[in-house]
Amino acid sequence: MFILSYLKDNRAENRPNQTYHGSLFGMYQGKVSLWVKQLAALLEKALGRMGKLPQRAVNQL
pLDDT given for residue 38 in this prediction: 96
Domain total for the chain? 1
- Alpha-carbon span 51 to 40, nearest angstrom: 16
Host domain of residue 52: 2-60
End-to-end CA distance of the chain: 27
Query: How confident is the prediction for the chain on average, in pLDDT?
Result: 88
Report which of residues 16 and 59 the model is more confident about.
16
pLDDT given for residue 47 in this prediction: 93
Tell me, yes or no, if the pTM score tops 0.95. no
pLDDT given for residue 57 in this prediction: 66
pLDDT given for residue 35 in this prediction: 96
Secondary structure of the chain: what % helix, strand, coil (to 5)? Answer: 65, 0, 35
Report helix, strand or coil for 16.
coil
